[in-house]
Structure 1
Amino acid sequence: MSQIAFWGSARGQAGTTGNLIALATIAGLEYMTKNLIAHTNGMWSTIETAYVKQRVQQDQHLLDMTNTGIDALTRLARSNLLTADNMKDYTLPILKERLDLLVGPHNEQEAFDENMIKVMPMIMAHAKQHYDHIWIDVNSETSNLLTQQVMQAADLIVVNLNQNIQVLDRFFSKEHWPAALDQVPYIIVLGQYDRHSKYTVNNIARRFKVKQPIYTVPHCAEFLDAWNDQQVLDFFVRNRNVKKGHPNYFFISEVQRFARGTLSRLGVDIDLLSEGRG
């Protein structure tokens, strides 16, 4: 029943899309929740490339834009034919009953934004009736009207930063600060995190007097390779139970901590809904 906007203050630098993919995939695998991934980017986002290849091989018609994706939902919404019951039919299943993907449009950004501002509230209202969590990757431009709309309507905003001190300075000084953050609860995550950097989580929190937890999604070459190979789900299935000493342990454990913290902030009883890792 929650809408979560993923916003990054520095386009292409904070790993916003990868952070969303990692969290939503872990949430689908480890918690008994229904999750939908969406984005507000015109044309295809790199979100699709994380999952689509393996699914297309099984069902070629899934990517027919007349039958699935945001374009199909937009037409239904405009015709007052969209319902909570039928919207799932137009999404791409990634993990059965746990994780679906709302494929993006084949429109340029400006045309997409203009269309979506009118119908996005209706689509999200129906989606909230079917899914527990809707994870939405939004444009980093705070002047973008669709970004503003989605963030204002969110139940939680995930602010994606990195270890670049200029990026951090602009955000914490509120030089680059979306107005929605004054009204909507938010959490902070550092993408492409390097624990060997001088600017660790603790040092950043101390320098900017951050009281709330700061989460991380560490840099992980194997995760990025899996993304390039359209095998993100397989990567998390293989690695989510790795033990200390494994090369991917720090990445996985931090993503799991990020997921627990985010879901807890949304009011989810994570102990009740956890699938366990056995």
Structure 2
Amino acid sequence: MSIITFWSPDHGRGKTANCAAAGAMVGLDYDIRTLIARTQFGNSSLEDAFIKSKELQMKNFVTSAATGMDALERLFKTKRLSASGISNHTLSLEPGRLDLLAGTSKPDESGHEGIEHVIAAIFDEARRYYQAIMLDIESGGANQITNQLIQSSDLVVVNLSQDLSSLERYASQEQWPCALQGKNKMILLGQYDPHSKYNATNIRRKFGIKDPLFVIPYCSDYRDAFNDKDVLGWFRRTRNAGRRHGSYPFFQEVRKAVKEMLSQIGVNTEIKRIERGVS
């Protein structure tokens, strides 16, 4: 029903890692149908983060021409695209709750005629089946597909870091896509260092940020899980660890950010929350 786009004004702000973490938490903690996908060309980092979850199926999935975005493009061109067809071309990471749609295997837009119309149609159809669609989209403001997806989004998660020059550019709006003006937004500071001079409180004050602002602390265990391509497995094993566990602050902040995202798109997070130990 709703689209959440993960966008950043420039590269290197942890956007894909943040999207993967949020998607894993939603899929494990909430009883809603969720789709995660990326729309960039030549970058499979989002899919790679989940390979270990279902290794054999995933390897076949990401290398098969019969699955993912490329297969859906063919369905669109033959007028056979449907909501059920979309779910049939995804990999189920958590049955009934979390699906992954592989992005295109093509390196750039040159092999796609009218790709912006294809992508719009795919996610318009996906809205009919999924309650939340979480998209890792191209950074910056020059990409036509990025502008289009931001325009159709119900919530834009703006991924920033504590880098002062990046914050200044965002606050000045010089790198904003035109579609971002007036959109429902929340700010997510990734790889967050709470001991920095530029903590969330000071950033909000210095740059006059009015949108909801959340953080995802730097967590070496999460970075290892991401690099090991085992994000979902690590979340399953570790997300309910106690306060003494080194990753506890990371999970607490991811949960806060995810709850805000879902609340912003109208999900009743109290009703849809899965009791611990059920999943």
Contact in 2 for aligned 1:158/1:186 (Cα 8 Å): yes
Most deviating of 233-242 and 48-57: 48-57
Contact in 2 for aligned 1:264/1:270 (Cα 8 Å): yes
SS in structure 2 at match of 1:87: helix
Tell me how far apart the structure 1 counterparts of residues 57 and 70 of structure 2 sit (CA, whole Å).
22
Where does residue 240 of structure 1 map in the other structure?
A: 239
Where does residue 46 of structure 1 map in the other structure?
A: 45
What pairs up with 1:3-18 in 2 under 5 angstroms?
3-12=3-12, 14-18=13-17
* Alignment pair present for 1:143 and 2:142: yes
Contact in 1 for aligned 2:192/2:215 (Cα 8 Å): yes
Where does residue 121 of structure 2 map in the other structure?
A: 122
Tell me how far apart the structure 1 counterparts of residues 276 and 54 of structure 2 sit (CA, whole Å).
25
What does the per-residue CA deviation read over 1:194-242, in whole Å, with 9 as the maximum and x for residues that have no partner? 1111110011111112233311111111111111111111111112112
Tell me how far apart the structure 2 counterparts of residues 7 and 112 of structure 1 sit (CA, whole Å).
24
What pairs up with 1:6-155 in 2 under 5 angstroms?
6-12=6-12, 14-58=13-57, 61-111=60-110, 114-155=113-154
Q: CA RMSD in A?
A: 1.6
Tell me how far apart the structure 1 counterparts of residues 205 and 111 of structure 2 sit (CA, whole Å).
41
* TM-score after normalising by structure 1: 0.95
Tell me how far apart the structure 1 counterparts of residues 264 and 94 of structure 2 sit (CA, whole Å).
24
Tell me how far apart the structure 1 counterparts of residues 48 and 17 of structure 2 sit (CA, whole Å).
11
Where does residue 197 of structure 2 map in the other structure?
A: 198
Contact in 1 for aligned 2:37/2:101 (Cα 8 Å): yes
SS in structure 2 at match of 1:61: helix
1:113 Cα deviation after fit: 6.3
SS in structure 1 at match of 2:127: helix
Cα 1:194/1:114, change in 2 over 3 Å: farther
Tell me how far apart the structure 2 counterparts of residues 185 and 147 of structure 1 sit (CA, whole Å).
16
Structure 2 unpaired stretches of 5+: none
Tell me how far apart the structure 1 counterparts of residues 79 and 57 of structure 2 sit (CA, whole Å).
31
Tell me how far apart the structure 2 counterparts of residues 152 and 262 of structure 1 sit (CA, whole Å).
17
1:123 Cα deviation after fit: 0.6
Most deviating of 69-78 and 214-223: 214-223
What does the per-residue CA deviation read over 1:59-115, in whole Å, with 9 as the maximum and x for residues that have no partner? 753234321010000000111111112211111111111111111122112326654
* Alignment pair present for 1:266 and 2:228: no
> Identity percentage over the alignment?
38
Where does residue 221 of structure 1 map in the other structure?
A: 220
1:138 Cα deviation after fit: 1.0
Cα 1:108/1:58, change in 2 over 3 Å: closer
SS in structure 1 at match of 2:206: helix
Where does residue 180 of structure 2 map in the other structure?
A: 181
Tell me how far apart the structure 1 counterparts of residues 93 and 137 of structure 2 sit (CA, whole Å).
21
Report the residue type matching 2:2 in the other structure. S
Structure 1 unpaired stretches of 5+: none
Tell me how far apart the structure 1 counterparts of residues 18 and 58 of structure 2 sit (CA, whole Å).
27
SS in structure 2 at match of 1:238: helix
Cα 1:23/1:195, change in 2 over 3 Å: same
Contact in 1 for aligned 2:219/2:250 (Cα 8 Å): yes
Cα 1:228/1:115, change in 2 over 3 Å: farther
Contact in 2 for aligned 1:105/1:112 (Cα 8 Å): no
Cα 1:275/1:54, change in 2 over 3 Å: closer
SS in structure 2 at match of 1:237: helix
SS in structure 2 at match of 1:130: coil
1:169 Cα deviation after fit: 0.9
Most deviating of 267-276 and 63-72: 63-72
Give the paired residue count. Answer: 277
* TM-score after normalising by structure 2: 0.94
* Alignment pair present for 1:172 and 2:187: no
Tell me how far apart the structure 2 counterparts of residues 132 and 69 of structure 1 sit (CA, whole Å).
19
Moved over 6 A (4+): none
Tell me how far apart the structure 2 counterparts of residues 268 and 154 of structure 1 sit (CA, whole Å).
15
1:56 Cα deviation after fit: 3.4
